[in-house]
Amino acid sequence: MATTNIVVERVAGAMGAVMTGVDLSGKPSKATMAAIRDALVEHQVVFIRDQNLDALGLVRFARILGEPNIYPFVEGLPDAPEIFEILKAENDTRNFGGGWHSDSTYLENPPAFTMLFAKDVPSVGGDTIYANTYLAYERLSPGLQETLRTLDGINSAALSGAGGRAKLTSENTKMKRQNMSDADEIEAIHPIAPLHPDTGRRALYLSRAHTVRFVGMTAEESKPMIDYLADYAVRPDFTCRMKWEVGTLGIWDNRCTQHYALNDYPGERRRMWRATVRV
């Protein structure tokens, strides 16, 4: 690497890495950004330890990666609307993000990258599991691969299997909800097996959380294949488990991953800042 102080350590055979020796509190150098981008291409999800970022610093870094999205259903921070806070307090029982998904696939231009910055973490638990959807596609039979290359999926914000919109209606009331009545109207169509623009590899791009049906098919006809692929994409062989620490900045590529926030820390607090960017 061009930056000798940076160390990247793999965490699993399928994907995932932890990066140290990086300081993002100022403007990162071109060499540092190149190292981060290279790590994301190789490992799909990267956790950068020991960061000291305020909200504006996180937005500044997000703008280097791409154009920040505004999440439609939760108000952003007052001084940084591009960021919203994900809070599971001690008395909350359900969490946000507790189901396999890629972020906001119901948007016409969904996030390429998601960033979470850990502000408070439980004493144990609260990890996030990631799945490499390149591997999921590449290990399917050639015949099914060929079929999937012809399919587009309709993705809707009305579905809530990722622990998002529906859970906001009854839990995590400290998160400031907005635009909840608009969710049923927000839909987008995306290929089921798109080519990644940076790597040229295909990845599965669907989930129970957001994919309603295939274009040209009914929901009833589509459901068996969606269910099969959703289960297949998150086989343990394709996954890694990442542990949060206060000051960790996690970054992942939604175009070739899914993720699942574990809810295994009853009675403890977990607080994260979330930003997403499109490219």
Average pLDDT, the chain: 92
Q: Note the pTM of the prediction, 2 decimals.
A: 0.93
Mean pLDDT score, 195-208: 97
CATH topology (fold) of 7-278: Double-stranded beta-helix (3.60.130)
Structure confidence at residue 178 (pLDDT): 56
Please choose, from the candidates 119, 66, 102, 70, the residue with its C-alpha nearest in 3D space to the C-alpha of residue 271.
Answer: 119
pLDDT, tens digit, 9 for 90 and up, residues 42-84: 999 999 999 999 999 999 999 999 999 988 888 999 999 999 9
Structure confidence at residue 160 (pLDDT): 56
- CA 142, chain centre distance (Å): 28
Q: Exposed, middle or buried, 220 (CB in 10 Å: 0-12/13-18/19+)? A: exposed
pLDDT, tens digit, 9 for 90 and up, residues 156-184: 998 655 544 444 444 555 666 655 556 66
User: E strands along the chain, which residues?
Assistant: 7-10, 17-20, 45-48, 67-68, 84-88, 113-120, 128-132, 152-156, 187-191, 211-214, 239-242, 249-253, 257-261, 270-278
Structure confidence at residue 72 (pLDDT): 85
